[in-house]
Amino acid sequence: MLARTHLAFALLLGVFIFPGLNFNSLIEYTTFYLLLAFAVFLPDIDHPNSKINTKLPFLKIASLFFSHRGFLHSIFAPILIGGIAYINAGLLFALPIFLGYFAHLLADAITINGIAPFYPIIKFKFKGPVRTGHNLEFFLFYITIGLTVFRIYFLIF
């Protein structure tokens, strides 16, 4: 998936979680969405030419230790990273990090390359019909944006 599709999908998940959040200030909501937007790109630190690695080159070191769509694209990574965030910073930080990361995995699971969600324990891959950068992905991107706007509208009114 392209970076913008990953981001759109994470924001959609975020607006569906939104009513259940009991944050007390605009700063907390802003923090939530900024962390969500950052975390959605974290799984791709295992690819040296990913969007996040071009913006934060020091993260490229991860590509030396992890194969692309290996451990960092398994369910264990967001649980581990979200758990560390929860222990060190609480729910305000852990929830958006977990959700953003998990949104990335869900989106990649419907691509033709798929993901192995239980890697390295089980190497079976979930795959879908979506080719990165092709028409079906663009269609899903616009549908996701539409659903996000629709959800925000109904949250406001």
DSSP string, 109-128: HTBSS-B-TTTTT----B--
Q: What is the mean pLDDT of residues 4-31?
A: 87
pTM exceeds 0.95 for this model: no
- pLDDT(83) > 80: yes
> Is pLDDT of 28 > 90?
no
Burial label for 104, CB within 10 Å (0-12, 13-18, 19+), is buried
Helix axes 26-39 and 91-109, enclosed angle (nearest 10): 40
pLDDT in tens, 107-117: 999 999 999 99
Q: Is the pLDDT reported for residue 20 higher than 80?
A: no
Q: How confident is the model at residue 53, as a pLDDT? A: 87
Residue with tokens 């390295």: 120
Residue 12: the pLDDT is 95
Comparing C-alpha atoms, which of 45, 2, 9 is closest to residue 131? 2
Question: What is the predicted pLDDT for the residue at 150?
Answer: 95
Number of domains in the chain: 1
Domain containing residue 98: 3-18+27-156
pLDDT of 10 > 80? The answer is yes
Distance between CA 81 and CA 51 in Å, rounded?
A: 20
* pLDDT tens figures, 97-153: 999 999 999 999 999 999 999 999 999 999 999 999 999 999 999 999 999 999 989
Render pLDDT for 39-76 as a digit per residue (tens, 0 to 9): 999 999 999 888 898 888 888 888 888 888 899 999 99
